[in-house]
Amino acid sequence: MLNVSLILGIGFTLIIAMCGFLLTTFPGLNHIGALACAILLAMGYRQVFGYPERLRTGIQFSSKNLLRLAIILYGLKLNMIVIFHQGFPLLLRGTGTIIISIAVLMILARWLKADLNLSLLLGVGTGICGAAAIAAVSSIIKAKDEDTAMGVGIIALVGTAFSIIYTLLFPLLTISPIDYGKWVGISLHEIGHVALAAAPAGQDALANALLAKLARVFLLVPVCFILMIWMKKKGKMEGEAKIEFPWFLIGFIGMSFVGSYIIGNEFVVSKKHMSDIAGFTSFLLTMSMTGLGLNISLKELRTKAIRPLIAIIITSFLLSLLTFYSL
């Protein structure tokens, strides 16, 4: 039987996602990104019209199933061959970035009395790969949908601000473009932020920045498994339900192997088609964020987001300094 709520709900998130991408064609908003724009649109809809209950089935499908599919396809961005051959020192640096990001942000969160679940999402997003990491971790730590959406919105805002600051600082720095690229890749939040900040320094800087960033993306899987073990132990201590295994991470690993060892060797996929797949992945992620954004109320945003926002700004600043002086 045709599920009208499912189809209409998916269609609704599709429309909001398209509007989010459309907004990025305007000056200034292109730096914020489609994900943040879509979340803002979804939040605005919720405040004016309320949650569209008749579309709930389709909206939940987008926020959960499409989200996992997007993370699986995201694995194609990870070239494991390059990381294994060139990125071991960057893996060590990436590990340090993740530890510093999570530890400092959680310490600040406790000091500021910020929401700990949202702060943990921001710590993981800062340390690894922004929205994709937040999305992957949210189901493991049983984060609320509104916390996940707020985390994505905050990290998009802060990451964009820092990437612009990096771009302005580059002409004033005395380091080489290659070292600048490594600094960008090891410290900034999203892959898009890394590309934005590194591109003005040239192709060598951009290549090194993306390699450093991909080394951090590679660490998403072990971090997720560590968090899963931690949550299981926490669940046993507190009598909570058993944590579901994040099977989509297996898909993420599988797609990483496909992109690294099969595509280009067993069969060839053109750069245009790979770009189309990357665009499709971003669109799926934007649709899923729309579903999450509809769960945010401005009252909760005011009360929950300001302190984690302060914590991530301080953490990002300290991370930038530490990684710069470690070059």
What DSSP string runs through 95-160? HHHHHHHHHHHHHHHHHHT--HHHHHHHHHHHHTTTHHHHHHHHTTTT--HHHHHHHHHHHHHHHH
Which pLDDT score, from 0 to 100, does residue 245 have?
62
Which pLDDT score, from 0 to 100, does residue 322 have?
95
Which pLDDT score, from 0 to 100, does residue 244 have?
58
pTM given for the model = 0.78
CB 285 within 8 A of CB 136: no
User: CA 231, CA 69: separation in Å to the nearest integer?
Assistant: 23
Q: Is 92 exposed, middle or buried (0-12, 13-18, 19+ CB in 10 A)?
A: exposed
User: CA 232, CA 105: separation in Å to the nearest integer?
Assistant: 23
**Distance of alpha carbon 232 from the chain centroid:** 24
How big is the CA angle at 271 (ends 267 and 276), to the nearest 5 degrees? 105
Mean pLDDT by 10 residues, the chain (327 residues): 80 93 83 77 86 88 84 80 76 92 95 92 93 85 85 85 88 91 92 83 85 86 88 61 64 85 77 86 85 72 84 96 91
